[in-house]
Structure 1
Amino acid sequence: MKLSKRSVYIFLVIISTIAADQISKILVRANIVGRTDMTPSERIPLIGDAFVMMNIENTGAFLGMGSDLNPTLRIILLLILPILVLGFVLRHILKDKTIDNWSLFAFASVIGGGIANVYDRIVYGSVTDFLFIDLGGVFKTGIFNLADMSVTTGMIILVIASFSKKKETTSTN
């Protein structure tokens, strides 16, 4: 089976995303004291108090949501459903040759970030989150990781690409 340049590109983005995320998490787990109750025990300022590293083992999803679900529901909602969705998205981008390069990158980033976090849930029973931004109350994030950044960036690119396509089709009509 010969892979096209397009397929190689998709897999390179996915694998690079997973690798960067997993390497960062290995370093955090090895070097920063962590907790599982969503309260950090060690805070390492990277840029004052605006950008901080810590180690939180998140047993839920976004901002710990779902961490108090019963084990069966947690497996369904945080493992099985994401694996199915990621598989369908991967199948879609491999088959649909009309997807533009930015959207292709965005989808691959979402898939890579999703796989990285699912991997953590399977192997460790939680997802390692370690970055936090607080710009003096003007802008404040939850605690996140590189996989989360990849998924968020991919989604933002997809939204922008969607608006760009709508603008193009409106102006050509």
Structure 2
Amino acid sequence: MKISRRSAFIILTIIGSIGLDQISKVWVRAHVKAGSVSEIFGDYFTLHNVENKGAFLGMGSDLNETLRVVLLLILPVVVLGLVLRYVFKDKSLGNWSLFAFASIIGGGIANVYDRFVYGSVTDFWHIKLTDTLRTGIFNVADVFVSTGMIILVFIALFKKKHKEVKQ
């Protein structure tokens, strides 16, 4: 069976994002003391080792175990599967859209894998520009998911703007 360049691009992006995320988490678990904070670039960019039992910014960590399994394991696997199917079926998607969706899928799979294997997701980076302009603690998978979402927003805005100019 021959794999098309398009399919190879999707698969390599997904595998690459999962691989980079998992390598970074293995390193953090092995070399950064749990609960510690280390400066990378002053207080602006710090390294942590935090286990997040919830989703984004710990949301859902207080849910009972059954609900947490449904919302943080089963539902994401179903959604990621549907998005993966869509990406392989829709031949009209451009390279940027393919990269964005594959990044979201890879990052999502990486975090779901952590929840399944470890019961939590290892987060370790934090950016704080000011007391109000800062991130939560995040990981490489989160960067891939966020980057993919930002690319999709730009594509949607560009297409909408391009359609308005044509009319």
Structure 1 residue aligned with 2:20: 20
Unaligned runs of 5+ in 1: 35-40
Alignment of 1:44-55 (within 5 A): 44-55=38-49
RMSD between aligned residues: 0.9
Partner SS for 1:45? strand
TM-score when normalising by structure 2: 0.97
Q: Per-residue deviation at 1:138?
A: 5.0
Of 62, 72, 76, which aligns to 2:70?
A: 76
Q: C-alpha separation between the residues in 2 aligned to 1:44 and 1:11?
A: 35
Partner SS for 2:49? strand
Structure 2 residue aligned with 1:159: 153
1:108 corresponds to 2:102: yes
Structure 2 residue aligned with 1:136: 130
Q: C-alpha separation between the residues in 2 aligned to 1:12 and 1:147?
A: 15
Please list the CA deviations of residues 104-129 of structure 1 after superposition, one character each: whole Å capped at 9, or x if unmatched.
Answer: 10000000000000000000000000
Q: Which runs of 4+ in 1 moved over 3 A?
A: none
Of 112, 115, 119, which aligns to 2:113?
A: 119
TM-score when normalising by structure 1: 0.94
Please list the CA deviations of residues 113-163 of structure 1 after superposition, one character each: whole Å capped at 9, or x if unmatched.
Answer: 000000000000000000000012252000000000110010000000001
Identical-residue share of aligned pairs (%): 60
Unaligned runs of 5+ in 2: none
